[in-house]
Amino acid sequence: MFDVDLFVTECQAALSAPEPKRVVERLLREAMADVEGVAEALGGGADAVFQPLFRSPELTVANMSTAPGSTSPIHNHCMWGVIGVYAGQEDNFLYKRGANGLEQQETKILRKADIYVMPDDLIHAIHNPLGEFNAALHVYGGDLVERPGRSIWNPQTEVEEEYDIQQVLAYTRELSS
Ligand SMILES: [Fe+2]
């Protein structure tokens, strides 16, 4: 079965590599070769959770599930990230900054066992299109919870605002109802 502690230890060791996110990508690919084992170890997919498994200024490893039909506000991370979906589906609506605000780019659809390597400057919103909880294992090259300089975009006005988790939850409720 998937060993959470070993995975976290290997992610920490990856930080010493020339390209940590490539090592983390490989680790997640290995983990997703046994999605059922990951699901069993993490128990995700039954509730909406953001469960940090490890947090430091250089690394976040988290288990994350979102509710059926839910949509997040557009946000950035300001750090690289790699995720592996182990239950359900997560659609990523990608954006980039343009002369007149954000411009929508492609949509990246992630299904069970898919990996997504997210660049430092990623701007996205996530959506669960299915009638069941999704779940993914997330790894980021920094402290996702406390990183200064992150933004969310107000869904009504499209104005960029300072990242605030309570506001993210409020916008998610608004967008998902
Ligand atoms: Fe995100």
Nearest one of 143, 139, 153, 163 to 73, comparing CA atoms: 153
Instruction: Count structural domains, the chain.
Output: 1
> Residue 77 C-alpha to ligand 1 middle, in angstroms?
6
Give the CATH number of the domain where residue 153 resides: 2.60.120.10
Q: How far apart are CA 141 and CA 162, in angstroms?
A: 20
Residue-level pLDDT at 15: 98
Q: What are phi and psi of 41, to 5 degrees?
A: -70, -35
Sheet holding 60-66, edge to edge: 49-55, 60-66, 134-140, 81-87, 115-118
Report the Cα 69 to chain-centroid distance in Å. Answer: 17
> Residue 40 C-alpha to ligand 1 middle, in angstroms?
24
**Domain housing 43:** 4-176
Query: Tell me: the pLDDT tens digits for 82-108?
Result: 999 999 999 999 999 999 899 999 999
Give the tokens for residue 28.
Answer: 């997640």
> Residue 114 C-alpha to ligand 1 middle, in angstroms?
16
Query: Tell me: the pLDDT tens digits for 135-148?
Result: 999 999 999 999 99
Q: How far apart are CA 33 and CA 137, in angstroms?
A: 13
> Residue 83 C-alpha to ligand 1 middle, in angstroms?
10
pTM value is 0.95
Task: Give the SS3 label for residue 79.
Answer: coil
